[in-house]
A and B are shown apart, each in its own frame.
Chain A
Amino acid sequence: MSGPKTSPAGTNGSKGVFMFIKFFYTLKDVGVPVSPTSFLTLQKALYQGLITSLDDFYTCARAVLVKSERYFDLYDQVFAYHFDGVPLPEDEGFEIDQMARAMLDEWLKNPKSMADALDVDENALKKLNPDELIDYFKKRLKDQDGRHDGGSKWIGTGGISPVGHSGYHPGGMRVGGESRNKSAVKVANERRYKNYSTQGPLTQAKIGEALKRLRNMIPAGPKDVINVDETIRTTLRNGGEIELIFDRAMKDRLKVILAIDNGGWSMDPHIQVVQTLFNYARAQFKEVKTYFFHNTIYDYVWEDPSRYKKPKKVMDFARLDPETRLIIVGDASMAPYELMAHNGAIHITDRSGRPSIEQLNFLAQTFSKAVWLNPVSQIMWGYTHTIMAISQIFPMYELSLDGLEQAVTKLMEKA
């Protein structure tokens, strides 16, 4: 085995402990949630002589201190920094790292548009190798940070710029995985857990987890659960003659309406995530009604995705159970008149007297428990007028794991 091998257990005496304290605080500083109790547990393991090599220490400290694979990558970085002197990325380095990588990707696909967006000569960039390019992009990103309020030229212009997407994940980034017979420092340097550390795309499992709490248990179905207390009471009243009392089982009877914006190019990038949400909702809730609309809601929503065959009058929703949870999914991005004008609908058949914003207000009043899920990343909301307007009507959450959880909490709030 190569790499440094020390014996953390005991031999270094108090100096060794001090070293681990520093290691512990570095972990805490970079954002790994570590608790003092777990640190003490680690000390216990050290004093019991359970850890005899740096490799042991790497494995055991991770098992004891780090409680989620999302932080394994950070742990690897801190470990490499601490025991091998590999520099930690600078502040915000993690995010900028990814952003720069996204830019590099874009550059490889389409050098011209990238050069235009950055306002530099394409040929000047061509001379740089990928590493230099990444450094260059990082520098540009940092400049960008400095002049944030000035309305920068190339980030946040709403879909034209190739770098305005904050939700980029370095997908398909493979972790190096060969032999395990390496020193811990080397393993840590490989950063095997890199692909767990990003937020990750919303998969069905994740959506399921987030929506699990969306439940409303009420007794339903046949009476097939025995109620012991009642049985004893009745039996006593009968003078010992046993009488069994049955109840209905608790079942989930939550009603959900899911309204999805499935029209327009602006939703195209989000189709997959919305589809996942939709599939999950269909599998999970017994009473889920799905409707489709384009950009915003006017007089009708449609039951069929092509928005043609089965229109449903929005006014009819007034007759539904007001306890129904209404979840609207859409990017809420459109021309302001589509939302505000009396005849705002871009489809001529949709046009009626009522502006969409009134319809949305009507829905919000009908269903007190309603949320709007927006696949557009939250930091971009401020740039679009209609997003701001609609978020005044419905509580709006980002269509991400965090956003979903907040939305579910909102939906389950007691009135």
Chain B
Amino acid sequence: MALSLPFQQIRHNGDLMPKHQDARFQGARKYVLDPELASIVNISMSLEMPLLLKGEPGTGKTMLAHAIADTLDMQLITLNVKSSMKLVEALYQYDTLTRLNDSRFGDSTRDVSNIDDYIKMGKIGQAFCAENRAVLLIDEIDKADTDFQDDMLDVLDQMQFDIIETDRTISAIHRPVIIITSNAKKDLSDPFLGRCNFHHIAFPEPKMMRKIIQVHFPAIDSQLAENAISAFYAARGIDGIEKKPATRELINWLRALQADPDFKAKDLLKGSMPFLGVMFKKSPDYERAKNITGRHKRF
């Protein structure tokens, strides 16, 4: 094929292993990529459009950005959106107080008459100014109010913003790869959606889940994995559960099961569910699951 999509290398084998194993984050840096999602990532990168990801918690929305950054050896810049956030905080900050302080006492190396010395780039600003193409992750955009989203439109569209204080325009040196995640079921504003590509990450099917488990526990006993996965999907299917256990819960649960010397994989088939508290974090859910799974001798 003539076209060279940068993300293609992970397309064929489906698995994605990080190039740099940061010792501390070893567990968290593993990601199994769905081929469908890979092609959406590729096309968004080629079209230079932000990719909006939705899906229930635990489907790996945030992890995807980490995976892209790792695979393509790009810098990852994360903007964690907060509910009270104003867009300008994500772009830059003008540190008036330091300047005021410097002008009064004059004992710093900064030049008080030069406002630029007091401008600090926010996360979006950093992504624009980065020397190499970076991955910009805008995490949980739905937390902020709609003003924030609307204001961000122009910035992402034009790939530039103005610093009002100095009347300087910051343009992106390289258009960053932008990944936006949203947890809420609510739709974002239409003009915002119009500028993004969209993908909804469905909860992994058992087959995919087996792969994920394989990546996280390369040495796991296959019967244990199999039984745990079917018990896990059964637990997700319990009626009236408010917070369904997600991938994260399954992985922690497996860790707990492995750590328990008395535990035998075939117990799971009999319907017993040890360590329910790892799976269900809300007390009504916990009670419900406890009643349904019945035998819960060890806890």
Taking a contact as CB atoms under 8 Å apart, the answer to whether A67 and B36 are in contact is no
Please report the C-alpha to C-alpha distance between residue A323 and residue B184 in the assembled complex, in whole angstroms: 29
Say yes or no: A52 contacts B185, CB within 8 Å: no
Contact with A along B187-209 (1 / 0, CB 8 A): 10010011011111010010100
One of B97-105, B164-172, B173-181, B286-294 at the interface? B97-105
Write the A50-65 contact mask toward B (1 if CB under 8 angstroms, else 0): 1110001001101110
Interface centre among A44, A50, A204, A231 (most CB of B within 10 A): A50
The answer to whether the Cβ of A177 comes within 8 Å of any Cβ in the partner chain is yes
- Of the candidate stretches A30-38, A149-157, A259-267, A294-302, the one touching chain B is A30-38
**Across the interface, which residues of B come within 8 angstroms of A67, CB to CB?**
52, 187, 190, 193-194, 196, 198
- Which residue from chain A places its CB closest to the CB of B1 in the assembled complex? A52
B44 at the binding interface (Cβ < 8 Å)? yes
Judge if B40 is at the interface, Cβ distance under 8 Å: yes
Q: A44-B47, A180-B34 are in contact. Are A63 and B101 (CB under 8 A)?
A: no
- B49 interface residue (CB < 8 Å to A): yes
Which residues of B are found within 8 Å of A35, using beta-carbon distances?
194
Q: Which of A63, A231, A241, A242 has the most CB of B within 10 A?
A: A63
Partner of A64, one of B186, B197, B200, B202: B197
Inter-chain contacts of B186 with A (CB < 8 A): 206, 209-210
B43 interface hit (Cβ, 8 Å): yes
C-alpha spacing A241/B39, complex, angstroms: 60
Interface assignment of A178: CB less than 8 Å from any CB of chain B: yes
Q: Which residue of A lies closest to B14 (CB)?
A: A180
Known contacts: A209-B184, A209-B186. The answer to whether A37 contacts B194 by CB under 8 A is: yes
Q: Which residue of A lies closest to B195 (CB)?
A: A37
Query: Which residues of A lie under 8 Å from residue B44 when comparing CB positions?
Result: 63
Instruction: Check B184–A205 contact: CB distance below 8 A.
Output: yes
- How many of chain A's residues touch chain B, expressed as a range? 35 or more
Whether the Cβ atoms of B100 and A242 lie closer than 8 Å is yes
Instruction: Give the residue of B36, B51, B205, B242 whose beta carbon is less than 8 angstroms from that of A178.
Output: B205
A44-B47, A67-B198, A209-B186 as given contacts; A232 in contact with B205, CB under 8 Å: no
Shortest distance between the CB of A141 and any CB in chain B (Å): 28
Q: Can you name the residue of chain A whose Cβ is closest to the Cβ of B146?
A: A213
B194 in contact with A49 (CB, 8 Å): no
- A171: nearest chain-B partner, CB-CB: B239
Contact A59 B185 (CB under 8 A): no
Within 8 A of A (CB), among B208-258: 242
Residues of A within 8 Å of B35, CB to CB, are: 180
Q: In the complex the two chains form, what is the Cα distance from A316 to B5 in whole Å?
A: 69
Interface size class of B (residues with CB under 8 A): 35 or more
Q: Which residues of B contact A209 (CB under 8 A)?
A: 142, 184-186
Nearest CB in chain B to that of A241: its residue: B104
User: Per a CB cutoff under 8 Å, which of B187, B198, B202 touches A63?
Assistant: B198
Neighbouring A residues of B43 by C-beta, 8 Å: 45, 50-51, 60, 63-64
- CB neighbours (8 Å) of A242 from chain B are 100-101, 104
Of residues 191 through 240 on chain A, the ones whose CB sits less than 8 Å from some CB of chain B are: 192-193, 196, 200, 203-206, 209-210, 226, 228, 231-232, 235, 240
Verify B101–A48 contact, CB threshold 8 A. no
A38 with B184: CB separation less than 8 A: no
Tally A-B pairs: CB < 8 A.
99
A50-B3, A68-B187 known; A192 vs B202 contact (CB < 8 Å): yes
CA distance in complex: A62, B202 (Å): 14
Is B54 at the interface (CB under 8 A from chain A)?
A: yes
**A95 vs B6: C-alpha distance in the bound complex, in angstroms?**
44
A44 to B3 Cα, complex, angstroms: 14
State whether the Cβ of B126 lies closer than 8 Å to any Cβ in chain A: no
CA distance A50 to B48 in the complex (A): 13
**Is the pair B205, A177 in contact by a Cβ cutoff of 8 Å?**
yes
Assembly CA distance A44 to B190 (angstroms): 21
Interface residues of A in 300-321 (CB under 8 A from B): none
Q: How far is the CB of B42 from chain A (nearest CB, A)?
A: 7
A41 within 8 A of B: yes
Distance in angstroms between the alpha carbons of A18 and B113 in the assembled complex: 61
B42, B196, B205: residue with the most chain A Cβ atoms closer than 10 Å: B205
The residue that A59 contacts in the complex, of B36, B104, B187, B202, with Cβ under 8 A, is B36
Chain B residue at smallest Cβ distance from A187? B36
Measured CB to CB, the nearest residue on chain B to A217 is: B84
Is the C-beta of B96 less than 8 angstroms from some C-beta in chain A?
yes
- CB proximity of B16 to chain A, nearest CB, Å: 16
| From B39, B51, B101, contact of A56 by CB (8 A) | B39
Tell me, in angstroms, the Cα distance from A41 to B46 when the chains sit together. Answer: 11
Taking A41-B47, A63-B199, A72-B200 as contacts, is the C-beta distance between A235 and B100 under 8 angstroms? Answer: yes
Give the complex CA separation of A180 and B51 in angstroms.
Answer: 22
Q: Which residues of B contact A44 (CB under 8 A)?
A: 47
Q: Tell me the complex Cα distance, A240–B52, Å.
A: 49
Q: For B103, what are the chain A residues with a Cβ–Cβ distance below 8 Å?
A: 240
Tell me the smallest distance from the CB of B115 to a CB of chain A, in Å.
Answer: 14
Give the nearest-CB partner of B187 in chain A. Answer: A68
A14 at the interface (CB under 8 A from B): no
Q: List 7 A-B contacts (CB under 8 A).
A: A41-B49, A59-B39, A63-B44, A179-B207, A180-B35, A209-B142, A232-B100
The chain A residues found within 8 Å of chain B, CB to CB, are 33, 35, 37-38, 41, 44-45, 48-52, 56, 59-60, 62-64, 66-69, 72, 177-180, 192-193, 196, 200, 203-206, 209-210, 226, 228, 231-232, 235, 240-242
- Which 6 pairs of residues, A with B, have the shortest CB-CB distance? A69-B200, A67-B193, A209-B186, A177-B205, A63-B197, A63-B40
Known: A59-B40, A63-B199, A205-B185. 15 other contacts (CB 8 A): A38-B194, A41-B47, A41-B49, A48-B3, A63-B198, A67-B52, A177-B202, A205-B184, A209-B186, A226-B97, A232-B100, A240-B103, A240-B104, A241-B104, A242-B101
